[in-house]
Amino acid sequence: MVICIPVITKENYPLYIRSTPTEKELSFQYMVHTSLDVVDEKISSMGKALVNQREVYLDLLYPTEDYKVLQGYTTISKVKFVMVVNSSNTALRDNEIHRMFWKLHNSYIDVMDFDNMVMYIMIQVC
């Protein structure tokens, strides 16, 4: 299950964050900020291949014992979407995660629906 979804701006500060044990939100923010170094490193290693891409889907960013900062996704405007999931969750496949990021990105563009989409992704059973 997805337990935290933050949206990070181009300048690397949180624009939006939602987590399901809200008591651990600060801990999740720390994990997400730690993973941003990995995001920047992966993006810079891609170099000029990114010029024509509208979005970049990144793989596993920052695993810990209890959680995985599973995936990163960045838009052409350099807004970053990240998902934190339980380490025990092996049901999520790459294509499902990519589809979740795509839905988040589209609902982010349509601001009125973004919070509803985050809640839907966090409670859906995979």
pLDDT tens, residue by residue, 59-88: 777 777 777 766 677 777 778 888 888 777
Question: Which residue range is the domain that position 81 belongs to?
Answer: 2-123
* CATH code for the domain of 26: 3.30.450.70
Q: Structural domain tally of the chain?
A: 1
Which of 44, 73, 71, 68 lies closest to 56 in space, CA to CA?
A: 73
pLDDT tens, residue by residue, 29-65: 888 888 888 777 777 777 655 555 656 767 777 777 7
What b/e string do you get for 98-126 counting C-beta neighbours within 10 Å, with b at 16 or more?
eebbeebbebbeeeeebeebbeebbeeee
